Amino acid sequence: MIVTGTSTNPAERPAAVRLRFAPSPTGYLHVGGARTALFNWLYARHLGGTFVLRIEDTDVARSSEESVQAILDGMRWLGLNWDEGPEVGGSFGPYFQMQRLDTYKEAANQLLNAGHAYHCFCTKEELDGLRAAAQEKGETFAYPGRCRNLLPDIVQKFCDEGRKPVIRFQVPTSGETVVDDLVHGPVTFRNDQFDDFVIMKADGGPTYNFAVVVDDALMQISHVLRGDDHLSNTPKQILIYQALGYVLPRFGHIPMILGSDRTRLSKRHGATSVMAYAEAGYLSDAFVNYLSRLGWGHGDQEIFTRQELIDFFDVPAINKTAAVFDPVKLDWVNAQWLKATPSAEIAGLLRSHLAKRGYPVEAKSDAWLAGLVDLLKERTKTLEEMTDYAKFFFDLELTYDAESVEKFLTEANRPIIEGLIAAFDAESDWTAERIEGAFKDLAAKLGLKAGGVIQPARVALAGSKVSPGMYETAELMGKELVLKRLRHALGLIPGAVES
Ligand code: GLU
């Protein structure tokens, strides 16, 4: 039977495509989480489905409101809008697991009544003892099912005594469970390798494997894309789906992201929160582009617009093997995006980077900043690098490159600097063309090639031999700052008294 509308009968196959991202709010949104979110978002958008954001906050000790906000901020920066979830609501809510405790209780009761689950009163000490005994025998600990067959009146008696049981799922002792994975194909697990795992804790909260099944089923999730590290959880979840009579979603386990040393990506590799990449001056489009390539590809194309990603993203093209996070490639992708993005758009973003660095940017117009971006975007890989580079365009104290000063700010070159001061002082039309004219006239007057005049000027204005085109640079710096720097340069000539 095909379900229409928002029926929440989980035993019926969802008609609609619904994907979800289900982070635990125990920290910021990191690169791995962002990539999982992106793949689910892309697939939902590709298929014209719904993208749900669900907050899995049942680990009360480690969850925080601050982390929820950090995750939402990260999602917003990436542009991964959600159709249902926090702040937007939806007809399958609530979207915070801690607001769904009654639902889990109800589902647990259903399993208890059907004989698929049981109360377990084993204490921590008893379990520790069993664990130690298993270790002694060189075996891995598995709960032996001691409370499986407690009679109902014993359970009642223990509860009346105030003992707080957990609820365990009764795993079939024979047979196999097959995860028909969209990425890996069928993966078979023997049921006897699982012990009777806990689904409800003694405090009444659900465990991850239980809550995720109840929620995915009731929220009619059609596809679950998540990291490979969850593959071993999936057979347990499938057993719960079957016991509850729920229809299975399609599962796809996406490859892990490794650092360049091929260990699991972590802070050690410099990969922290997604927002740290925003602060470091990566463009959202570029970061999303880079993330998409971690475990997915489309021919040998490297640069994708969001629309192309949505159009091309498909699950069969997801790799089975781990992806390696390569910061050099990320820089390259960002540089491509800087070049391709209109300067006016970048200028808006650059402004806040400059302001944060304390550059006097308030007085600068948007057009001036766009001009700055025009000059710098071919030479820099991130907005932070652009900010470093841009320093000499502002009336700030310059750091001079000693070698360049020694080579170009010499007594022999004094007439060049003095000549430029004289020419610029008299110039009322401050344009790159007029500035170019002044340089050429001076070169001719001194019997030099243009380059012979430009290099000393560059060191005087930018503090080193590196700058964009001199005429455009001088135009953007403005007459006042150019003259100030040239006069200051005279004082850098050895033996000179600063004027
Ligand atoms: N809250 C789980 C996690 O963050 C979700 C895993 C899943 O997608 O099922 O790992």
Tens-place pLDDT, residues 417-439: 999 999 999 999 999 999 999 99
Residues of the chain falling short of pLDDT 50: 1-7
Q: What is the pLDDT of residue 8?
A: 56
Question: What does the pLDDT read at residue 404?
Answer: 96
pLDDT at position 339, please?
97
Which ligand 1 atom minimizes the distance to the CA of 20? 8
Q: Is the CB of 233 under 6 A from ligand 1?
A: no
> Using alpha carbons only, what angle is made at residue 443 by residues 437 and 449, rounded to the nearest 5 degrees?
115
Rounded to whole angstroms, the Cα distance separating 306 from 308 reads 5
Which residue lies with its CA nearest to atom 4 of ligand 1?
23
228 lines ligand 1 (CB under 6 A): no
Question: What distance in Å separates the CA atoms of residue 482 and residue 475, rounded to the nearest whole number?
Answer: 9
Distance 208 CA to ligand 1 centre (A): 8
**DSSP category for residue 315:** G
Tell me how far apart the alpha carbons of residues 53 and 470 are, in angstroms, rounded to a whole number: 51
Distances (CA, A) of 74 to 272, 278, 378, 413, 468: 12, 9, 28, 53, 34
Predicted pLDDT of residue 266: 81
- Token representation of residue 199: 């689904």
* Catalytic pick among 164, 267, 356, 445: 267
* Residue 57 near ligand 1, beta carbon < 6 Å: no
Residue 56 Cα, ligand 1 centroid: separation in angstroms? 7
Q: Exposed, middle or buried by CB within 10 Å (0-12, 13-18, 19+), for 98?
A: middle
The pair of structure tokens assigned to 72 is 């939402």
Distance between Cα 22 and ligand 1 center (Å): 5
Euclidean distance between the first and final Cα of the chain, in Å? 89
Our answer to whether residue 267 is catalytic in this structure is yes
Letter string b/e over residues 199-219, b meaning 16 or more CB atoms within 10 A of that residue's CB: bbeeeebbbbbbbbbbbbbbb
Which positions ≥6 away from 350 have C-beta within 8 Å?
369, 372, 373, 383, 386, 387, 390
The answer to whether the beta carbons of residues 339 and 374 sit under 8 Å apart is: no
DSSP state of 206: B
Q: Per-residue pLDDT tens for 43-68?
A: 999 999 999 999 999 999 999 999 99
Nearest atom (ligand 1) to Cα of 33: 4
Name the 3-class secondary structure at 198. strand
**Nearest-angstrom CA–CA distance, 474 and 58:** 59
- Compute the distance between CA of residue 337 and CA of residue 335 in angstroms, rounded to an integer: 5
Alpha carbon 351 to chain centroid, angstroms: 22
The phi and psi torsions of 459 (rounded to 5 degrees) equal: -65, -40
How far away, in angstroms, is 196 Cα from ligand 1 center? 21
pLDDT at position 35, please? 97
Nearest CA to ligand 1 atom 6: 22
3-state SS assignment for residue 51: strand
Q: How far apart are CA 241 and CA 220, in angstroms?
A: 12
Q: Residue 280 has which token pair?
A: 């470091």
Q: Is the CB of 230 under 6 A from ligand 1?
A: yes
Write down the pTM of the prediction: 0.92
Residue among 21, 43, 56, 240 to mutate when testing ligand 1 (max atoms within 8 A of CB): 56
**Cα–Cα distance between 288 and 282 in angstroms, integer?**
10
Determine whether the shortest distance from the Cβ of 24 to ligand 1 is under 6 A: yes
State which of 53, 210, 230 you would mutate to test the pocket of ligand 1, scoring each by most atoms of that ligand within 8 A of its C-beta: 230
Domains contained in the chain, CATH given: 102-254 (3.40.50.620), 397-492 (1.10.10.350)
pLDDT at 271: 63
- What would the two tokens of residue 91 be? 């007809």
Is 212 near ligand 1, meaning CB less than 6 Å away?
yes
CB 78 within 8 A of CB 274: yes
- The one-letter amino acid at 405: V
Nearest to 496 by CA among 420, 401, 396, 409: 409
Task: Say if ligand 1 is within 6 A of residue 253 CB.
Answer: no
Task: Please state, in angstroms and rounded to a whole number, the distance separating the CA atoms of residues 40 and 466.
Answer: 44
> Could you tell me if the CB of 23 is within 6 A of ligand 1?
yes
- Span from the CA of 26 to the centroid of ligand 1 (angstroms): 12
Tell me if 56 CB under 6 Å of ligand 1: yes
C-beta of 434 in contact with ligand 1 (< 6 A): no
212 CA: nearest ligand 1 atom: 9
